[in-house]
Structure 1
Amino acid sequence: MENSKRPLILASVMLAMFVSAVEATIVSTAMPSIASELGGFSKYSWVFSAYLLMSTVTVLIYGKLSDIFGRKRVFAFGMLLFLVGSLLCGLANSIEELIFYRFIQGMGAGAVMPIATTIVGDIYSREERAKIQGYLSSVWGISAVTGPAIGGILVATIGWEYVFWLNLPLGIVSLLGVVLFLKEPANTKKPAIDYKGAFLLTAALSSLLYLLVEGGVSFDWLSRQSLILAAASLVLIALFVWAERKAADPMMPFEIWKNKTILYANLVSLATGVILISISSYLPTYVTGVMEQPAAIAGFTLSAMSIGWPLAAFFSGRLLLKIGYFKTSLAGGIFLVAGTLLFVLMQPGFGPLWAAMSSFCIGIGMGLTSTAFIVSIQAAVSYEQRGSATASNMFMRNLGSTIGVALLGSILNSSLLRYFADNGENYSLSSINDLLSVDSRAGISTQTLDFLQQALAGALQNVYVVTAFFALLSFILIFGLRGQKGVKSSVK
């Protein structure tokens, strides 16, 4: 790799990450407006679940394919698919169409972030990666400042469709940069694609996701449907593990998990994935529906997390080299617990500043942990396994988010239905749509408005209690990393 080309590749990779980061902040900020226009609040979580399911399943496939066919070709395919999905999302006329198009978008997104991160691992040395990760994480800060602001302006002026279409010019420029400037070593490895593993993983996660999203809403948790879905998920997961151990070139090479750094970093990432999606998905709903703030303010509270993330990530790479892997990760775990507890304590009258402060703490925790994990994991394996190892960490975080958005969405919906029933009211979940815009709130009585806001606030507090549990779990798991000193002591 010519050093003169590295800045151009880095810029292209950062732009790809920006597209991915903006997707998270803008869509979350715009969802109250989308739900208000398209309806279907009961399917609100499916807009996130569809995207997360496909990106979670495909991230492992893309990681393995990038080790076989090279980063450039796989990145290009994923980015093109992501852009097609983005175009179609903006053309959706119903919530069902939007969910379908988010499946397509998610299929492409599975390649963008992990392969962009892997490319950086390929072109920079172990010591350089710690510094470069600070630059990469600054993308989250830029998206935090520009994403919600642009999203709020787009929603308020020309429409929510442009929230998705914004990806198109940025993604094309990033794609051209990687295709034109990235030169890869010749690959003589014979392709061996693990189709059986890909099918079993997709089926297992689909069964589990449907159970978590619809359980307690469309059918009871203790119903026959729930038991069948739970049993199917367990059987399919067991078959996936069995198939991967038998496969000649598995999609998920379990031998890399024998490395203690990779094992515990991935387990913590599973828990933090739940935390991340909880804040990203439901904070705008709280600020917009309960606090009655506009989309721009909801975006500000969410962007506080994205500002804290790069600030912490900038120092995380340096702390990793100075005080060690365990202490850096532990500090991040403390911030995650503190941030989630602040959300549990949040009341409607506290205002958006409290929400922003809580969000900022979560960002600090994510920045300290996630950056340290990526740097150390990439240092722990060879070039031939780097794509799979990086993808495994992204997979676990995405899996956590996939499980989280489904589980928390189910908790939100079932909590609302229980609150309505306990108070003798026959409201449906779609009535929450009336809280998500100024015009719709103006059309309901003060008594109804107060009742629905109390219901939504209580349901979201239940969501935050579960989120705090996962923060505590991640903090405990970090102790499994004790003795890991940092990049220089990682297994080579």
Structure 2
Amino acid sequence: MTKEQTESVKSGVGFRSERGPLLIALMLSTGLVAIDATILATSVPSIVGDLGDFSQFPWLFSIYLLAQAVSVPVYAKLSDTVGRKPLILFGIGLFLAGSILCGLAWSMPALIAFRVIQGLGAGAVQPMAVTIAGDVYTVAERAKVQGYLASVWAISSVAGPALGGLFSEFFSWRLIFFVNVPLCILAGLMIMQRFHEKIEKRKHHIDYAGSIVLTIALSSLILAVLEGGQAWAWNSLYSFAAFGFGAVMLVVFVLVERRAAEPVLPLWVFSRRLLLTTTLMSLGVGAILLGVTSFVPTYLEGALHITPLISGLAVAAITLGWPIAASQSGRFYLTIGFKRTILIGLGIAVLGTLSLWLSAPTPNLLLVTVSCFIVGLGLGLVASPGLIAAQSSVPWEERGVVTGTNFFARSIGSAVGVAIFGAIANSIYASHAGGQNDPATIALATGSAFLAVLVCAVAIVVAAFAMPDARLQSDGTVALSPELGG
């Protein structure tokens, strides 16, 4: 029995039996997060039209992603001690409660607050689903499994925008949250019935101090980015104070983690070259993904005056390209290695983001859709191989933390990225007559955001070149080139 088979038995799931129904349950759980993201992105204009305060709409994404990001390391650490099952069920329940509250929101501040609850639930659902898959399936199988999980985003990319557009145009945007209720109930029941694990119980220490300090630090930095140039000037005392306080709290966080018995974000993750580079790439992937999906609908609806339904289907192309590439990535990294596969994906992603930026001054629905599809293809060859390489380089007892760190980085990248892109767009709106009601201004503002996304894509290439040349061995582990180190 191989190492991977032994670990699947440890998780309580037979190596061959019962994995099909479990995969369906994991796909459904992932769908909770996926459909919420695609529905909301295309319904922002309707939400703003009802609740008002256009300048606050980036918070709908950032606060959700912030809550998700800071909770992921906590869930990940706990999953290596108390198991995956109780945490994914807890996340589903919390996501359900947050969805109901969001559907009942009476103002933009209330909706933003309830998105925090949703984010805390999502922080457990998606990474736990991927971690469970990493426990049960071999490295060679994980590419296909990741493709199946990524295909959930493809299905959601069609169903989400379609439902979001229909609800926004003919019913109410509030239904985009209530649609999560039956999905949460079904996903929870399937996980309870299909996933059983055997965990060696041991005493654990939750790093509350680290979690609190990290939340404060990231909240301060995101607040500084989102409100800079809006609530206060970039060179004002408030701006310097917010950025400075956030930076100081990050330093405090590092000091706290060094002394923590079981740190929420172990610093050893960043001392291993493979884990550090894949984490940095995940950071960039999150920024690119949210940068495109957040601003393409606004761009198309504002510059071309197309309906939310059509704009949703256009941005859905990114999550159609992603699973196609992710499911086939195994053919690449099993042959040419993880690093070369990722570099190919980044080259494709750069072409897609470059196309979005160049086409921004002259809006074209078909070109934007094709560009989104290309970006999705590229990211699919980056995100899945990077995560699988990281998971395969550590034993079972570290896999939850490594997976959680990867998703933590992607969530932070998404939260900070959409905040930065939103600040860039808002500064253009504020400095031009007509603002958000002028198609030319919208094209200019979102074009500037697309340029920032392109710069981010190019920056990830640097991290990819610094990645060790990792290849799969016969025992299912990853070997690194000796001259590059781990």
TM-score by length of 1: 0.92
Q: In 2, Cα distance between the equivalents of 1:476 and 1:409?
A: 25
Task: Report how far residue 407 of structure 1 moved.
Answer: 1.1
Picking from 259, 265, 268, the partner of 1:255 is 268
Aligned-partner SS, 1:56: helix
Q: Flag structure 2 segments of 5+ consecutive residues without an equivalent.
A: 1-12, 481-486
Shift of 1:117: 0.4
The amino acid across from 2:94 in the alignment is L
Contact 2:269/2:275 (<8 A) preserved: yes
2:462 match: 476
SS in 2 for 1:485: strand
For residues 264-308 of structure 1, the C-alpha deviation after alignment (integer angstroms, 9 at most, x for no partner) is 011111112111111111110011111111111101111110110
Q: Residue 212 of structure 1 corresponds to which residue in structure 2?
A: 225
Extract unaligned runs of 5+ from structure 1: 421-426, 436-451
Is the aligned partner of 1:490 residue 2:485? no
Describe the superposition over 1:27-80 as per-residue Cα deviations: whole angstroms up to 9, x where unpaired.
101111111121110111111111111001111111111112111111111110
DSSP-derived class of the 1:222 partner: coil
Residue identity in the other structure for 1:457: A
Match of 2:203 in 1: 190
Match of 2:178 among 155, 161, 165: 165
1:35-434 matches, within 5 Å, as 35-347=48-360, 349-420=362-433, 432=436
Shift in CA distance, 168/491, structure 1 to aligned 2, threshold 3 Å? farther
Shift in CA distance, 486/339, structure 1 to aligned 2, threshold 3 Å: farther
**Residues 170-210 of structure 1, C-alpha deviations (whole Å, 9 max, x = no match):** 12111111122211113222121001100110000010010
3-state SS of paired residue (2:119): helix
Kept in 2, the 8 Å contact 1:133–1:317? The answer is: no
Matching residue within 465, 468, 476 for 2:451:
465
Secondary structure class of the residue paired with 1:249: coil
Opposite residue 23 of structure 2, the aligned amino acid is: L
Paired with 1:18 and 1:50, the residues of 2 have a C-alpha distance of: 20
Structure-2 separation of matches of 1:67 and 1:360: 36
Counterpart code for 2:447:
Q
Number of the residue aligned with 1:32? 45
Deviations 1:389-426 (A, max 9, x none): 00000011111111011111111111111123xxxxxx
Deviation of the 1:491 alpha carbon: 5.3
Aligned mates of 1:271, 1:374 — CA distance in 2: 13
Structure 1 residue 150: deviation in Å? 2.1
**Offset at 1:113?**
0.5
Aligned-residue offset at 1:4: 2.7
Offset at 1:133? 1.6
Q: Deviations over 1:209-248 (max 9, x none)?
A: 1001001111111111111111111111011111111111
Residues 242 and 250 of structure 1, relative CA distance in 2, 3 Å threshold: same
Does the CA contact (< 8 Å) of 1:291 and 1:349 recur in 2? Answer: no
Q: 1:491 to 1:188 in 2, by over 3 A?
A: farther
> What is the alpha-carbon distance in structure 2 between the residues aligned to residue 348 and residue 489 of structure 1?
48
| Structure 2 letter corresponding to 1:464 | F
**Count of residues in correspondence between the two structures:** 465
Q: 1:389 to 1:258 in 2, by over 3 A?
A: same
Other-structure match for 1:456: 442
**Deviation readout 1:78-119 (Å, 9 max, x if unpaired):** 110111101111111211111111111111111111001001
The amino acid of 2:132's aligned partner reads: I
Matching residue's letter, 1:299: G
Cα contact 2:470–2:479 (8 A) shared by 1: no
- Name the structure 1 match of 2:8: none
Shift of 1:489: 5.5
**What is the deviation of 1:486?**
4.2
- Percentage of identical aligned residues: 39
Who is 1:423 aligned against? none
**TM-score normalized by structure 2?**
0.93
Tell me the equivalent position of 2:3: none
Q: How far has the Cα of 1:260 moved from its partner?
A: 2.1
Deviations 1:1-28 (A, max 9, x none): 2343221211111001112111111110
Distance, in Å, in 1 between the alignment partners of 2:402 and 2:145 is 19
Letter in 1 for 2:33: S
Question: For residue 450 of structure 2, what is the amino acid of its counterpart?
Answer: Y
Secondary structure, in 3 states, of the residue corresponding to 2:78? helix
> What is the rounded CA distance, in whole Å, between the counterparts of 1:130 and 1:301 in structure 2?
26
Cα distance in 1 for partners of 2:424, 2:360 equals 19
Letter in 1 for 2:416: I
Q: What is the SS of the residue equivalent to 1:184?
A: coil
In structure 1, distance between residues paired with 2:57 and 2:202: 44
